[in-house]
Amino acid sequence: MNEDQELQEVTNEAAEANAGEQAPEQDFSELVKELEQVRQHVLYAQAETQNVRRRLEQEKQTVAAYAATGFARDVLSVKDNLDRALAAIPEDLRQDERMKPLIAGIEATGRELDTVFQRNGITRVEALGQPLDPHKHQAMLEVPTDDAEPGTIVQEMQAGYMIKDRLLRPALVGVARKG
């Protein structure tokens, strides 16, 4: 072999050695990049799982808090009927000794119903004397009057109720207008 051939062989061997060394370095850097991508995907998946878990927990609490809404709406008619029954009793019957136990029983039932409502977060909507709030009141009529500011509630035909922070039933009201 001559020197040129020998030099060529050594150069080829060095090039092959360098190529062999660079390939593992390139493979390693590609693996590091791929590992970082996989790590990001895992972090995103964990965050999404935690968000889903948090949303489900909130939804579960909301369902538990408002589960009785339909039943509560139905019971409101019972409360209305009790209130109407008490309001319909004339004063002379209230004084009659034979009627007093019946009236006391109706009043006790009304108080117990109020206690049950309170325990379950059901509250009466304030109406009389308040400005009309379309989120809580439903105006049924306008009452001409000079005694109240226009837009003020002067008559309540049916009580409204809230369950926690949601409207269960709007109050049916009469609103003042200029006479």
Cα separation, 122 vs 165, in Å, equals: 9
User: What average pLDDT does the segment 11-28 reach?
Assistant: 62
**pLDDT score at 15:** 58
Cα atoms found within 13 Å of the Cα of residue 109, Cβ hemisphere only: 15
How wide is the angle at C-alpha 104 spanned by C-alphas 101 and 108, nearest 5°? Answer: 135
Helix (H, G, I), strand (E, B) or coil at 65: helix
Residue range 142-171: mean pLDDT, rounded: 91
In this structure, of 3-12, 78-87, 131-140, the range with the lowest mean pLDDT score is: 3-12
The C-alpha atoms of residue 126 and residue 157 are separated, in whole angstroms, by 13
pLDDT at 16 over 80: no
Q: What is the CATH number of domain 122-179?
A: 2.30.22.10
Query: Quick check: 21 pLDDT over 90?
Result: no
* CA angle (41 as vertex; 40, 45 as ends), nearest 5: 115
**One-letter amino acid identity for 123?**
T
For 53-132, where are the E strands, in sequence order? 122-124
Q: Is the pLDDT of residue 18 over 70?
A: no
Facing residues of 166 across strands? Answer: 163
Reported as a single tens digit per residue, the pLDDT across 32-58 is 899 999 999 999 999 999 999 999 999
Domain ranges of the chain: 1-67, 68-120, 122-179
